[in-house]
Amino acid sequence: MKRVLLTLALAAGMASAQAQKFEGLALTPQMGWNSWNKFACDIDEELVRETADALVETGLAAAGYVYINLDDCWHAAERDADGFIQCDADRFPSGIAALADYVHERGLKLGIYSDAGRHTCGGRLGSFGHEYQDALQYARWGVDYLKYDWCETENINARGAYTLMRDALYAAGRPILFSMCEWGDNKPWEWAADVAHSWRTTGDIWCSFDEVLEHGTWRAWSVMHILDMTAGLRRYAGPGHWNDPDMLEVGNGLTHNEDRAHFTMWCMLSAPLILGNDIRTVDPKTLSILLNGRVIAIDQDPLGVQGYRFMREGDLEVWLKPLAGGHWAFCLLNRGKEDITYTIDWPRFDWTDEEVSKLSTDFSTMTYEIENLWVEGKKSAEGTTKKAKTVTVPSHDVVLYRLAPKR
Ligand code: GLA
């Protein structure tokens, strides 16, 4: 008996020593689509299939948006007789495994959603007490991504709950990207780098440039509020573990300028780029933002260093982001209601990123070529940093440059 107990204890010890998150996922911030921002609980398999097709047809899949993520409300009301989670058979009559096949056949990946508490935020069944069973079910279905929410978790320890699900996913054996959605309540950036591939930094976004939406017991945050709450967390982000300022609202009702600013700032933050609009009806103007590969490359830069707010003067901000190959992203953001004309005196932006990359800009002794990333074709080459540059940044908009050292 003693020996059996010892063996069990050793096995348990080994299992926990080995448990880890799946490495090699999200080496650059994950990209894809999620149902919540646009559809909330009104989802079914047809929507997911049509969205998968649309992602391919629009070129978004080829641009890198490969995860197609079910959010809340895909669940049946009850677990099966053995306690396994099931999908809502009215809305997903073919089942999740068939949906995963459909998505995989198109070169995409499938994401799913659960919650560390007894119920999800939408009142569906959570994973509490069923973590290993749920992870196993997702792996069997062929799921590639789990967003794990934080409703109904009073008295639950966040680090414990998320580590438990991480271990359950690992034990199930299928590499599943683990996206924490705990709203930043327990400062996950301080402890979650080896627990998850990303963690939400704030409560939910809503489709507003700079206004808070009061819900009574909670608030939904605007693009600018979330930007401010995430700006100071850059030292915690890096390949495989990202700050997640929530899903994109691009295409959901902001102005075109605001959409561009929102998208750009998420790229400057090295944020996961998870689309939240209806891809089946996306208009060309929205697509022109989402498909700008040169801007996406700022987000997906292999260095994986989150951008830095260097200057804030009135409504104007200047952000810098170190990129591979000695390049820099240089972004001017106008938060105000009036257009701003500003003269960039380059040496003022000589800076060493002591906090993260240790890289330096050097405008005093070096010259950089300026590429305007929101301008198409030949016109995007806007000279060099040899002399000061005057630029107009429209209201609620950005100007984004890639600076490359001149040879
Ligand atoms: C929470 C999350 C959202 C979304 C909803 C679903 O509010 O933060 O992103 O998943 O739950 O109910």
Q: Where in the chain is the domain with CATH 2.60.40.1180?
A: 308-405
Q: What is the DSSP string of 103-124?
A: HHHTT-EEEEEEESSSB-TTSS
Q: What is the DSSP string of 309-370?
A: EEEEETTEEEEEEE-GGG-EEEEEEE-SSS-EEEEE-GGGG--B-TTTT--B--TTT--EEE
SS3 279: helix
Q: Where in the chain is the domain with CATH 3.20.20.70?
A: 2-299
Is-catalytic flag, 204? yes
Give the pLDDT band of residue 17 (cuts 50, 70, 90).
Answer: low
Is-catalytic flag, 149? yes
- Mutate which of 34, 35, 36, 146 for ligand 1 pocket (most atoms within 8 A of beta carbon): 36
Looking at the CA of residue 200, tell me the nearest atom of ligand 1: 8
Give the pLDDT band of residue 18 (cuts 50, 70, 90).
Answer: confident
- Mutate which of 113, 121, 206 for ligand 1 pocket (most atoms within 8 A of beta carbon): 121
SS3 67: strand
Asked if the model's pLDDT at residue 4 lies above 60, the reply is: no
Q: How many CB atoms lie within 10 A of CB 10?
A: 10
What lines the ligand 1 site, CB under 6 Å? 36, 71-72, 120-122, 149, 181, 204
Q: Of 72, 115, 134, 149, which one is the catalytic site residue? A: 149
pLDDT of res. 407: 82
Q: Classify domain 308-405 by CATH architecture.
A: Sandwich (2.60)
Do 182 and 166 contact (CB within 8 A), yes or no? no
Token output for 18: 């080995």
CA-to-CA distance for 195 and 214, rounded, in angstroms?
Answer: 32
Question: What DSSP designation does 21 have?
Answer: P
The CA dihedral of 64, 67, 72, 74, to the nearest 10 degrees, is 140
Asked if the model's pLDDT at residue 11 lies above 70, the reply is: no
pLDDT of res. 1: 43
Q: How far is the CA of 121 from the centre of ligand 1 (A)?
A: 6
Nearest Cα residue to 171 out of 215, 214, 221, 132: 132
- The CATH number fitting domain 2-299, selected from 3.40.960.10, 3.40.718.10, 3.40.50.1820, 3.20.20.70: 3.20.20.70
SS3 88: coil
pLDDT tens digits, one per residue of 289-313 = 999 999 999 999 999 999 999 999 9
Q: Provide the sign of the torsion angle of the four alpha carbons 53, 114, 121, 211, taken in this order.
A: negative
* Mean per-residue pLDDT over the chain, rounded: 96
CA-to-CA distance for 74 and 88, rounded, in angstroms?
Answer: 6
pLDDT tens digits, one per residue of 41-87 = 999 999 999 999 999 999 999 999 999 999 999 999 999 999 999 99
